[in-house]
Chains A and B, each alone.
Chain A
Amino acid sequence: MLVAMGPGSWRPRARQRPRKTRAFVRWYDVAMIAAHRRTSVASPSAPAGMGASPFGRLIAIAFTATCELLRERVLRVLILFALLLIVMTLLLGELSVGQERRIVLDVGLGAMRVLGTVMAILMGGRLLEREIERRTIAVLLTKPVRRWEVIIGKFCGCALVLLVSVGIMTSVLVLILALVAPTWATELPLLLPVVFLLWLQFLLAAALAIAFSTFSTLTLSVIFALGVVLIGHASQEFLYWAEAVRSPALALLSRALYYGLPNLQHLNFTAAIVHQQKIAWSAIGMASAYAAVYLAMVLLLAAVLFHRREFP
């Protein structure tokens, strides 16, 4: 497309070997080819000179965001710290005779939740805010990309890094579990959905941080997002307050906060797995749908706020 636009003086020679050799670049190209094929079937009359397809642009933004995040020292330190905490559960298990399995799962999943949330908020907040603060966003927004694509692309990059982090932490947790509980293999079908819902919680935290970073500084974005997540874990309290307070205005406010803020307890099944209770697939499905709807709403809000923003 662009070759036709230009004078053709830079058309590559035949059989020229590309310089880049990293494996993930090859994977990126496989995805790009798939995106191009999909676009050519879906919209054969797309105007010339539009740049990449929307899917291709999203992949490019997500891929670059992933590369940037993987080079973050803070992220590596947090993952290492989480792994250290998970390994420490082995020692705690030794102290509680007969309760090793319960301690490993309880403390291990707790460490994953706390450090994963911190990681998600820091990553989400930094990704966009840093581009705005250093004004690197100006160049990106003059390329043929829509502003919502920047938000969604960066979120996807963040989601991928969180998935890798959760995967690493879960692997170590399973390894520790295998050392203390001979029945670890039977725990896996229970553990994986719980970890999946934990990942959804992290995505929600990252999306909130991205939304806040569209209009505020990194520090404020982190504080706001952390505040919403903490309230989200205790939002059931708002319902109790609504019933307990005498003032109708306060009751209304409490109800509004309960329904407006995410209830992260809907996504928390740690207690069930620790106590070896069976979790119904329908409950996991409902929790996933709840997280997906909330995620879509937060990302839509972030896209609207980012669209309205000026970059003087």
Chain B
Amino acid sequence: MSTVIAIENLTKDYASGWLRRRFHRAVDHLTLEVREGEIFGLLGPNGAGKTTTVKLLLHLIRPTAGRVRLFGRSPEELTVRAQLGFLPEHPSFPEALTGRELLDYFGRLFGLSRVDRSARIAAVLRQVGIPAAVADRPMRQLSRGELTRIGLAQAVLHDPKLLILDDPMGGLDPDGRRQVRDLLLRLREEGKTIFLSTAVVAEAEAICDRVALLHRGRMRACGSPIELAASGEGGKVEILARDLDARACASLRARGCAVDADRALVRIQAPTSAEVGEWVEVIRQLGGRVIAVSPLQSPLERFFANALTASERLEG
């Protein structure tokens, strides 16, 4: 599989202060590769340098050091830009235009004929779940979720080989998130490469082939979610049970569980996920009935939390 995105020692310093002599390092010697046909997730807390990395990839800002190559070429080249689609973190488009007019405008920039534009616009609007009535409303009247969908539509309009998405699920309702997830998985099946940045680990875990953790501009971990999750097992789990009386609840509290009793339902936070079976057995022995077991933190979230704590401790 060929390399689509190659980042080598990428560093970005932002100057600040009156004399522009103070510097804040947003990205620090970042090196990574994204291979053709994979969904790569760039994860990290707010201020980790994810959006700066995305802007460096798109040449919206210039690196202080290091270099970026897309399809083996500079992102400045028009041939490269003709093959990529981009969704910004906070999608915002000319307010006087309607969604359909915006897509038509971008279609013209890609040299699509009138008939192709018309057909393609109808197809992408359907893909992202935007009804015709919404597409014909001025952009100033659209909600954040609708703008995100229009943003996704313009990103895939010209059928690009590479998609760079900055927080693609931002502002979407659960149904919208599911639609976007399905769309991204379908695009991967078609052979597209997708680079997405997000602060929500569960999203990345669900769709990414590989993820990288960024913290204070540096890469702290990189690998497949399964690989990384293997070292992050043992997080807290939440067990929802019913038919537990006050004595049973007291007994569970005595064993180290946080018990929250509400009418007939009891919410139990077990200390570790490793002994879920044992906790379920204890609840049964106390006369309770288990309704649901869900992890409070997925193994990948647990791994990232540990990695962030370790990196903070290391840097003091």
Interface residues of A (CB under 8 A from B): 1-3, 5-7, 10-13, 16, 18-20, 25, 28-29, 32, 36, 47, 49-53, 56-57, 59-61, 63-64, 67-68, 71-72, 131, 134-136, 138-139, 141-146, 310-312
CB atoms of A68 and B97 under 8 A apart:
yes
Q: Which residue of A lies closest to B90 (CB)?
A: A135
Contact B105 A11 (CB under 8 A): no
On whether the beta carbons of A67 and B111 are closer than 8 Å, the reply is no
What is the chain A residue whose CB lies nearest that of B106?
Answer: A143
Indicate which residue in A1, A25, A131, A312 contacts B111 across the interface (CB closer than 8 Å): A1
Residues on A with beta carbons closer than 8 Å to the beta carbon of B109: 51-52, 57, 60-61, 143-145
Alpha-carbon distance A184/B179, docked complex (angstroms): 66
Other 11 A-B pairs with CB < 8 A, given A10-B119, A12-B119: A5-B161, A7-B190, A16-B118, A18-B115, A18-B118, A20-B118, A25-B114, A138-B55, A142-B84, A142-B164, A312-B14
19 A-B residue pairs with Cβ-Cβ distance under 8 Å, sorted by A, are A2-B82, A2-B158, A10-B120, A11-B119, A13-B119, A20-B104, A50-B82, A56-B111, A60-B109, A61-B109, A63-B105, A141-B58, A143-B109, A144-B78, A144-B81, A144-B110, A145-B78, A310-B61, A312-B60
In angstroms, how far is the closest chain A Cβ from the Cβ of B33?
21
Docked pose: A71 CA to B95 CA in angstroms: 10
Of B88, B104, B120, the residue contacting A135 (CB under 8 A) is B88
Taking a contact as CB atoms under 8 Å apart, the answer to whether A139 and B154 are in contact is: yes
A10-B159, A144-B81 given as contacts; is B108 within 8 A of A139 (CB)?
no
Q: Are A12 and B61 in contact (CB under 8 A)?
A: no
> How many angstroms between the C-alpha atoms of A227 and B60 in the bound complex?
31
Closest to B93 in A: A136
Bitwise interface map of B from 53 to 90 toward A, beta carbon under 8 Å scored 1, else 0: 00100101110000000000000001101111010101
Given A18-B115, A312-B61, A135 and B82 contact (CB-CB distance below 8 Å): no
CB-based contact A10/B123 at 8 Å: yes
| B256 within 8 A of partner (CB) | no
Q: Given contacts A67-B96, A131-B94, are A52 and B62 in contact (CB under 8 A)?
A: no
Most chain-B Cβ atoms within 10 A of its Cβ — which of A12, A13, A68, A311? A12
Q: Which 3 pairs show the lowest CB-CB distances between chains A and B? A: A12-B119, A6-B159, A52-B111
Checking A29, A134, A139 against B114 with a beta-carbon cut-off of 8 angstroms, the contacting residue is A29
Q: Assuming A142-B58, A146-B78, is B159 touching A2 (CB within 8 A)?
A: yes
Closest to A6 in B: B159
**Residue among B96, B100, B110 making CB contact with A143, cutoff 8 Å:** B110
* Most central of A47, A67, A143 by chain B CB within 10 Å: A143
Q: Which residues of B pack against A, CB within 8 Å?
A: 14, 52, 55, 58, 60-62, 78-79, 81-84, 86, 88, 90-97, 100-101, 104-106, 108-112, 114-120, 122-123, 151, 154, 158-159, 161, 164, 190
**When chains A and B are docked, how far (Å) is the Cα of A304 from the Cα of B94?**
24
**Complex Cα–Cα for A3 and B123 (A):** 14
Given known pairs A12-B118, A68-B97, A312-B52, the reply for A142 and B108 (CB within 8 Å) is: no
Q: Which residues of the other chain, B, contact A312 by a CB distance below 8 angstroms?
A: 14, 52, 55, 60-61
Task: Output the residue of B62, B84, B104 with the most chain A CB within 10 A.
Answer: B104
The chain A residue with its CB closest to the CB of B124 is A10
The interface residues of chain B lying within 8 Å CB-to-CB of A53 are: 111
Q: How far is the CA of A131 from the CA of B94 in the complex (A)?
A: 7
Residue from A5, A59, A142 with most neighbouring chain B CB atoms (10 Å)? A142
CB distance from B276 to the nearest CB of A (A): 44
* CA gap between A63 and B108 in the complex, in Å: 11
B316 to chain A, nearest CB (A): 28
Q: Is the CB–CB distance between B62 and A134 below 8 Å?
A: no
Contact (A138, B60) CB under 8 Å given A50-B78, A51-B82 = yes
Residues of chain B within 8 A (CB-CB) of A1 are 111
Among the listed A28, A134, A141, which residue makes an inter-chain contact with B60, where contact means beta carbons less than 8 Å apart?
Answer: A141
* Bound: A139/B84 CA distance, A: 11
Given the complex, which residues of A lie within 8 Å of B112, measured CB to CB? Answer: 2
Question: What A residues does B159 contact at CB under 8 A?
Answer: 2, 5-7, 10
Q: Cβ of A2 and Cβ of B110 under 8 Å apart?
A: yes
Q: How far is the CB of A22 from chain B (nearest CB, A)?
A: 10
CB–CB B94/A64 < 8 A: yes
C-alpha spacing A305/B190, complex, angstroms? 40
On whether the beta carbons of B108 and A60 are closer than 8 Å, the reply is yes
- Expressed in whole angstroms, the Cα–Cα distance for A192 and B282 within the complex equals 95
Q: Beyond A2-B112, A2-B116, A18-B118, is A310–B60 a contact (Cβ under 8 Å)? A: yes
Query: Which B residue's beta carbon lies closest to that of A145?
Result: B109
Cα–Cα, bound, A52→B115 (Å): 15
Q: Could you tell me the distance in whole angstroms from the C-beta of A5 to the nearest C-beta in chain B? A: 6
Give the residue name and chain of the A residue nearest to B115 (CB): A12
A71 CA / B138 CA spacing, docked (Å): 11
> For residue A19, which residues in chain B have a CB less than 8 angstroms away from its CB?
100, 118, 122
Q: Of the candidates A16, A36, A310, which one forms a contact with B115 in the assembled complex, judged by CB atoms under 8 Å apart?
A: A16
The residues of A that contact B111 with a CB separation of less than 8 Å are: 1-2, 36, 50-53, 56
| In-complex Cβ contact of A138 among B88, B94, B118 (8 A) | B88
- Give the residue name and chain of the A residue nearest to B166 (CB): A138
Q: In the assembled complex, which residues on chain B have CB atoms less than 8 Å from the CB atom of A12?
A: 115-116, 118-120
Q: Is the CB of B94 within 8 A of A68?
A: yes
Bound-complex Cα distance A121 to B145 (A) = 35
- In contact, B101 and A52 (Cβ under 8 angstroms): no
Give chain B residues whose Cβ lies under 8 Å from the Cβ of A13: 119
Give the residues in chain B near A10, CB-CB below 8 Å.
Answer: 119-120, 123, 159
B-side contacts of A67, CB under 8 Å: 96-97, 101
Residues of A within 8 Å of B100, CB to CB, are 19
Assuming A12-B118, A67-B97, A134-B92, is B60 touching A311 (CB within 8 A)?
A: yes
